Structure 1
Amino acid sequence: MQKVMKSGIALACAFSFALTACSGGQSGNKRSELSSGTAGAGSTGKNVTIEYWSIPIYQNVEGAPSPSSGEWEKMKIKEFEAQHPSIKINFQLIPFDQSQNKIGIAVAGNNAPDVVLESVDRVLMKYVESGKSEPIGDFIEDVKSDFNPEMLKKVTRDGKIYGVPVTLNPEYFFLNAALFKAKGLEHLIPKDDRMWTIEEMQDALKRVSGNGVYGTAMWAANEQGDEMNLMRLFGMGAEQWDESSTKIVLDQYPQAVDGLSKLVSMLDQGIVAPGPATTAALDAVELFKQNKIAMMPFANGLWSLVEAGKKDGSTDPKVELFGMAPPHSKGVVPKVASAIHGYQVFKQSDPEKREAVKKFVRFMIQPEHIKAVSKSGNYVPSRQSASYRYDNPEIQAAMDVVSKLPLANTGVSSPYFLDVRKMWYPELQAILLKKKSPEQALKDYAKKANDFLAEKQRR
């Protein structure tokens, strides 16, 4: 038990910012931040234009003119420009599925944006490795103690901070309790500890399936959300990367073969929704919202997606969310995945422009701003002074359990994470289409990925 508790310390530390209002030692830092982050209109000395790109992360932000992604940012940009007349912000909202291609092309053409808001834990190190990212530790030097240290680790390399985290989106499992209740199976919902063993999960999902309802959904249309499905294998004791995130080791775990074989069997039995090889993560979300899926892994933002859908009619009003730990084998501590969104800055050669970028980033990461975007999606804020408790007691109860679990190593600290990530889903497709056995697909994935990593590391 002591080992289990220690393994969850990092995640509990990250989540505690949202679970309780912390106190102490920030008032002086906040005054300093306000004086240097928002005051001094026009103090850059010349007119400066900042290119700011963002993926559509935050919706339904309180105070924004509309619930759509990007609207809150546009509102805050107007406020910033009013305070800093010499600084102009060119804002672009980049679709998720186009962001990395668009940013990569811009960087390769020496035409990178100045500031990007994106999944910094997954993409930042790629640009740090290539020397394209600007170290920005001085942006938060006076308020660093207010930031979650576990999140800062994700944006730090060789002692230098290259990004500023804003929110953490934990990923775990969700039940649609309404489907269990409708079939008289409410007693199967693990309300006491919010945990299922693999055997309990299989039994429950088999019993709830039928008449247009599926126990769960898989997706392998692309790499997006792959870590959510991999949590099924982590719960059985498998690991995808080694501890240093320099090698793929998933093929070395018999549990991975067993877990994938079980999923194929569940697909054959009608427990898994049909067509997973061509299903994307958000397709599965839509099935869940339509009251057709009893369980799925996803991020904490699912609470907001479901509730927003009840308002606009895209969610069946009967859907009832219940958050729980990832199902696991006996004796295995389940692990959860996460995504950290935040700011990165590309290389700056003009000191005055860099100072303008610094002012803008500091403005956007003020505690009240981080709190606003965190609450919009039930995210974990990166700053202690932006902490809050969840209004929904069900979310709070789920987070009380999930926060004690360790984070899975999904390889995000590798500068080649994005390249290797794309190598897994074709193998998963082959498994689901029965073109390869789980064992063969795992071997092929590991060989391709490790050959690639070895070549990169030789350079």
Structure 2
Amino acid sequence: MKKPLALTLAVSMALSLTACGGNSAQTTATTKAPETKAEPATETEATSGGGGDSSEISLWTYPIGKWGDQATVDALLAEFNKEHPEIKVKVEYLTYADGDDKVNTAIEGKTAPDIIMEGPERLVANWGAKGVMADISDLWTDEVKADTLASVESACKNSDGVYYEYPLCMTAHCMAINRDAFEKAGAWQYVDEKTHTWSTENFLKAVQTMYDAGYTNVGAVYCGGQGGDQGTRALINNMYGGTYTNADHTAYTADSPENIKALEALVAQDGINFDPAIQGGDEVQLFVQGVLQMAFCWNIAQETNNADALTFDAFPMAFPTESGDPALCGGIWGFGVFDNGDAGKMESAKTFIKWACDENTEEAVKASTYWSTRKSLANMYEGDELKTEYGEFMQYMGDYYQVVPGWATARTEWWNMLQKVGAGEDVTESVNTFVTNANAAATN
């Protein structure tokens, strides 16, 4: 068992946590939504003289980039109202700390919003599965399907083919290394600078080289909670080609020999420490401070949000693989419509969604700070060096498996499993317990 980073955590707690410490299954948007105010919602109203009956609809959005920023959303709605003055949109900004509770309470009280903005793990696997979302399959024309990445389309519908989400944007989660320290220690030789990739063998060699150069805390398998768990899942699944779920997204498969081999390799590797005192957000801050030399909870939001604090070149990397074909976890965000029994409101909601995702796509995507789910807009950030660099990771996007039943239980079981492995419990025994408990939740 490796020495934990609990002593260094005290330093990091003085800094604010990043999105890797959030509660979303793939919450990487780090622009914070406004906290609770005296007025819970803002409203952009239709101008007069639009003709026809006005329709007031509500939009609740999680902090997905600047979709969590009132000024940005107000500007978008002002543009929307130029084309659709007959529709009023009231917006409430949710946080990941209590957003789910607010939505669930609203559902129970029959006051759910007309539109909700988040990812498939909520819109499809949670509320869609509970039967409270409207079927929006009519938005998915053949043209839209042809222009949408297959993995994204698959995530937006249930096993019966019913679509509950219309996607807008996406990002790929990656890892990062301290390039300056790697070069100083002689570990840079193991990195493919052009493709931002490395083999599992070279990853382990690099960590050992860093450790031998005096960096005892090279990387941390953080397991203090579920925050940022997409990073530890991707690390372990990628190393030897393991999977987290089956292809049908009906069962958990993390007990594969490949995943067990990966965990055993991490436990045995000098410089890799299993730390139950920290979550993803803490790991990011320890990396930014130079305490850790790599971060597994990383994406472009982490670099931009910590730009002023970084004193070294944070070089983004795909997770190490034996096959040379990384499969990164990703975030998908878009819109869903709650079935509130009002056909007129649901049609108005679809009008807004089509405006944002089909007619004003580039501006709406840029407000998210991420990338479009449309193939035709793959180069929308051309000329932006940082966006272009991180955009290269889109090609490595793997299966979006966060729609498996029992997801909430599986997330808890995952970090509990990592804690047990780090404490010295037999890896196979720990992983088998994880899969047994997660699959029990998936079938209930």
Q: Considering the TM-score relative to the shorter chain, is it more than 0.5?
A: yes
DSSP-derived class of the 2:416 partner: helix
2:18: which partner in 1?
none
Say if 2:224 and 2:415, in contact at 8 Å, map to a contact too: yes
Answer yes or no: is 1:242 the counterpart of 2:246: yes
1:309: which partner in 2?
306
1:134 is displaced (CA, Å) by 0.6
Answer yes or no: is 1:295 the counterpart of 2:302: no
Query: Residues 148-227 of structure 1 correspond to what in structure 2 (within 5 A)?
Result: 148-150=148-150, 151-157=152-158, 158-209=160-211, 214-227=217-230
Alpha carbons of structure 1 residues 56 and 212: separation in structure 2 relative to 1, 3 Å: farther
CA distance in 1, matches of 2:401, 2:268: 28
2:99: which partner in 1?
99
CA distance in 1, matches of 2:175, 2:294: 7
CA distance in 2, matches of 1:430, 1:397: 37
1:198 is displaced (CA, Å) by 2.1
CA distance in 1, matches of 2:243, 2:267: 20
**Equivalent of residue 314 in structure 2, options 302, 321, 336:** 321
CA distance in 2, matches of 1:126, 1:161: 13
Say if 2:137 and 2:163, in contact at 8 Å, map to a contact too: yes
- RMSD over aligned Cα atoms: 3.2
**Higher share in helix:** 1
- What amino acid does structure 1 have at the position aligned with 2:418? L
1:352: which partner in 2?
344
TM-score, normalising length from structure 1? 0.75
Alpha carbons of structure 1 residues 286 and 41: separation in structure 2 relative to 1, 3 Å: farther
1:116: which partner in 2?
116
Alpha carbons of structure 1 residues 53 and 226: separation in structure 2 relative to 1, 3 Å: same
CA distance in 2, matches of 1:92, 1:221: 31
Measured against aligned partners, the alpha-carbon deviations of 1:95-132 in whole angstroms (never above 9, x if no partner) come to 12322233223223332221111122554232222211
2:73: which partner in 1?
73
Alpha carbons of structure 1 residues 42 and 288: separation in structure 2 relative to 1, 3 Å: farther
Measured against aligned partners, the alpha-carbon deviations of 1:377-418 in whole angstroms (never above 9, x if no partner) come to 343443625741443557645654x4554614x532334433
Structure 2 unaligned blocks of 5 or more: 1-45
Structure 1 unaligned blocks of 5 or more: 1-37, 62-67
2:277: which partner in 1?
278
**Equivalent of residue 51 in structure 1, options 33, 48, 58:** 58
Alpha carbons of structure 1 residues 264 and 149: separation in structure 2 relative to 1, 3 Å: closer
DSSP-derived class of the 2:283 partner: helix
1:148 is displaced (CA, Å) by 0.8
Say if 2:65 and 2:370, in contact at 8 Å, map to a contact too: no
* More contact order relative to length (CA 8 Å, sep ≥ 6): 1
2:42: which partner in 1?
none
CA distance in 2, matches of 1:242, 1:229: 18
DSSP-derived class of the 1:194 partner: coil
1:304 is displaced (CA, Å) by 4.0
Say if 1:322 and 1:398, in contact at 8 Å, map to a contact too: no
Answer yes or no: is 1:263 the counterpart of 2:271: no
TM-score, normalising length from structure 2? 0.77
DSSP-derived class of the 1:125 partner: coil
Alpha carbons of structure 1 residues 450 and 140: separation in structure 2 relative to 1, 3 Å: closer
Query: Residues 401-412 of structure 1 correspond to what in structure 2 (within 5 A)?
Result: 402-405=393-396, 407-408=398-399, 411-412=401-402
CA distance in 1, matches of 2:249, 2:65: 30
DSSP-derived class of the 2:74 partner: helix
Alpha carbons of structure 1 residues 427 and 386: separation in structure 2 relative to 1, 3 Å: closer
- What amino acid does structure 2 have at the position aligned with 1:109? G
1:202 is displaced (CA, Å) by 1.7
Alpha carbons of structure 1 residues 42 and 414: separation in structure 2 relative to 1, 3 Å: farther
1:85 is displaced (CA, Å) by 4.9
1:442 is displaced (CA, Å) by 1.0
CA distance in 2, matches of 1:160, 1:57: 24
1:27: which partner in 2?
none
